[in-house]
Amino acid sequence: MIDDIEWRVTPGLSPYAETLAEMEARVAAIRAGEARELVWLLEHPPLYTAGTSAVADELLTPDRFPVFEIGRGGRYTYHGPGQRVGYVLLDLDKRGRDVRAFIGGIEAWLITALADFGIAARSEPGRVGIWTGEGANEAKIGAIGVRLRRWVSFHGFAINVDPDLSHFAGIVPCGLPEFDVTSMAKLGVGGDMAALDTALNRHFPVLLNALESGEKQLPQHG
């Protein structure tokens, strides 16, 4: 089943508008049975995206970077160099049509991958995304925002490997002003994008298993 899914890593910085157009064309092709499902890993130049729940007041510096209004769930997010963006294009029509299991599976997949680097990441009830630390040190290391079109998923996640964290100051990230953002580099585990890609590939079955079972697959530690 995994072998039927294309795994693509694009080097350099991918222009956002062109990437979005290619992603939407691939979604249509998957639905038509003309293309394989796809996991696409890339980086973008600095930009902000506004999800369907974005609040205008949460764009604090609207002239700092380009702003793209898109159809994924969520509020304002930042993308930029040093951040691994993953677009997950799966046919949920043949994988159970369970959106909750899909989002929970993405969370569990990313948490398991980050554990390879000694990062104790987690999900939090009522807060979509990936979190680290406790109390004053609690911060968000990964964002998740997806959309479905005729049961084909697109958009996906972003993990902060070693981006310029000051760029997040131009928005209220995901509408949560009380929480900081962090990165793998800030947590002291380096900023090796290729190593993260390897971990994501290795643990991708966590997401597929979540869809197959219809429930979130909790990472096993020990």
Alpha helices in the chain (DSSP H): 16-31, 99-115, 193-203, 205-213
Angle between helices 193-203 and 99-115 (to 10 degrees): 130
Is 174 marked active-site? yes
Q: How far is CA 33 from CA 23, 28, 94, 203, 211, in A?
A: 15, 9, 12, 26, 20
Q: Which of 214, 212, 100, 83 is nearest to 148 (CA)?
A: 100
Q: Which residues are annotated as a binding site?
A: 72-79, 143-145, 156-158
- One of 85, 174, 196, 211 is an active-site residue; which one? 174
Q: Which residues are annotated as a binding site for substrate?
A: 72-79, 143-145, 156-158
Residues taking part in catalysis: 174
